Amino acid sequence: MLRVVAAIIHNPQGEILIARRPLHKHQGGLWEFPGGKLEDGEEAAHALIRELQEELGITPTSFRPLLIVEHHYPDKSVRLEVWRVTGFDGEAHGAEGQPVAWVPPARLAEYDFPAANTPILKAAVLPEVYAITPDPLDIGGDLPGWLTPRLREGQWLLLRARSLSAESYAGLAAEIAGLCQACGARLMLHDRPDLLAQLPGHGVHLTASTLKALPEGWRRGDSGIGAEHYLSFSTHDQAELDKAWRLGADMVTLSPVRETPSHPGMPGMGWECWGSLAVGAGVPVYALGGMRREDVTLAHRYGGQGIAGIRGLFQD
Ligand SMILES: Nc1nc2c([nH]c(=O)n2[C@@H]2O[C@H](COP(=O)(O)OP(=O)(O)OP(=O)(O)O)[C@@H](O)[C@H]2O)c(=O)[nH]1
Ligand SMILES: [Mg+2]
């Protein structure tokens, strides 16, 4: 497996740098995130700095692992170790004569990238924390009131409210969608694609039992989930991850990393096992199960997108 580092480089305007691969190279003519192959015995962080100096004439000063993607092309297999770079010295330019462009994240979809990049493109716009709401019953009933001071711009929110009837959930979802829209947060509906029609830019999170029940031929459009929506699944093992990928998931949760009070007796799989599943998933993976905010670093180190959870992931 060819080890490669690639960089999602942000400028202060929130744009991301992409470069066009020379025609004569593997996947030539397509756009890419700058980077390249590790040399023998080289550390990934060192390769990242070296490649960005060689290809763009910049030196990264602030960076961290984002996700790892393994992909099999017909002619070679690559392991792309993707880093997020938020600070650098120098002026980025195509130092090897290649065209480069700063692109707002929402417009990345207009460019053609190699097939291995599909999960990376999704990861580029996804957050590192995927917050799940507590059940209204557990916080005294008034979820909109509880959420209002805690919602942040750019936050992603899964509205889980198992104690509510289908009708009450629909009403609450409409109210919370309004709150999210007002502050630039995104709402993921829990197992209710039927409520998505009026909510472009928002999404739906389907449970592992829904995933199990969906036939292999299912396509997101069959349930009214458009390209303008996000589709997430709960998964617990390799088989569920594979199916979520085949059905076109944009992101998934993979749990439990640790045993949690909500699922007593279900042992955690631990970070090693979690990471070995996450890197091959082909889709950004969130760690779930006993997560604390500081675990985001571990999730990145093991190749995931970030962490998901209820308590502790909302800022008070
Ligand atoms: N840098 C980079 N490589 C990618 C991306 N996506 C992707 O599939 N790759 C593949 O990963 C491998 C990395 O190669 P590279 O050509 O950048 O390597 P390099 O900079 O060391 O160049 P070299 O060809 O001069 O040795 C290629 O097979 C390329 O097709 C991406 O977004 N960025
Ligand atoms: Mg390169």
pLDDT value of position 186: 92
Lowest model confidence (mean pLDDT) among 2-6, 43-47, 156-160, 275-279: 275-279
| Residue 316 located in a structural domain | no
271 contacts 256 by C-beta, under 8 angstroms: no
pLDDT value of position 285: 95
Q: Which residue did the predictor score with more confidence, 8 or 125? A: 8
The pLDDT tens digits for 253-311 are 999 999 887 778 888 999 999 999 998 888 899 999 999 999 999 998 898 899 999 87
| Residue 117 located in a structural domain | no
pLDDT value of position 106: 78
36 φ/ψ angles, rounded to the nearest 5 degrees: 180, -170
Q: Nearest bound ligand to CA 32?
A: 1
pLDDT value of position 257: 97
* Structure confidence at residue 199 as a pLDDT band (50, 70, 90): confident
Q: Is the domain of 138 the same as that of 99?
A: no
| Residue 179 located in a structural domain | yes
The pLDDT tens digits for 149-165 are 999 888 999 999 999 99
For ligand 1, whether the C-beta of 19 sits within 6 Å is no
Residue 33 annotated as binding site: yes
Separation of CA 79 and ligand 2 centre (Å)? 14
pLDDT value of position 14: 86
Lowest model confidence (mean pLDDT) among 10-14, 38-42, 240-244: 10-14
CATH of the domain at 265: 3.20.20.70
For ligand 1, whether the C-beta of 117 sits within 6 Å is yes
* Residue 54 predicted with pLDDT over 80: yes
pLDDT value of position 64: 84
* Structure confidence at residue 122 as a pLDDT band (50, 70, 90): confident
pLDDT value of position 225: 93
Q: Which of 55, 70, 105 is the last residue of a domain?
A: 105
| Residue 114 located in a structural domain | no
| Residue 315 located in a structural domain | no
Give first-to-last CA distance, the chain, whole Å. Answer: 44
| Residue 120 located in a structural domain | no
| Residue 209 located in a structural domain | yes
Q: Is the domain of 147 the same as that of 269?
A: yes
Separation of CA 39 and ligand 1 centre (Å)? 13
For ligand 1, whether the C-beta of 35 sits within 6 Å is yes
| Residue 54 located in a structural domain | yes
Q: Take atom 19 of ligand 1 and give the residue whose Cα is closest.
A: 36
Residue 113 annotated as binding site: no
Q: Is the domain of 225 the same as that of 136?
A: yes
pLDDT value of position 224: 94
Whole-Å CA distances, 93 to 17, 19, 46, 86, 291: 10, 9, 20, 16, 40
pLDDT value of position 316: 65
Q: Take atom 28 of ligand 1 and give the residue whose Cα is closest.
A: 26
Of the candidates 167, 149, 147, 165, which has an alpha carbon nearest to the alpha carbon of residue 157?
Answer: 147
Number of domains observed in the structure of the chain: 2
Q: Is the domain of 254 the same as that of 151?
A: yes
Q: Is the domain of 53 the same as that of 147?
A: no
Q: Which range of residues forms the domain containing residue 222?
A: 129-309
Q: What is the ipTM of this complex?
A: 0.96
Residue 34 annotated as binding site: yes
Q: Is the domain of 8 the same as that of 134?
A: no
Secondary structure of 136-181 in the HEC alphabet?
Answer: HHHHCCCHHHHHCCCCCCCCEEEECCCCCCHHHHHHHHHHHHHHHH
**Site to substitute for ligand 1 among 18, 37, 39, 85, most atoms within 8 A of C-beta:** 37
Q: Is the domain of 208 the same as that of 75?
A: no
pLDDT value of position 303: 85
CB count in 10 Å sphere of residue 192: 17
Separation of CA 221 and ligand 2 centre (Å)? 36
Q: Is the domain of 214 the same as that of 261?
A: yes
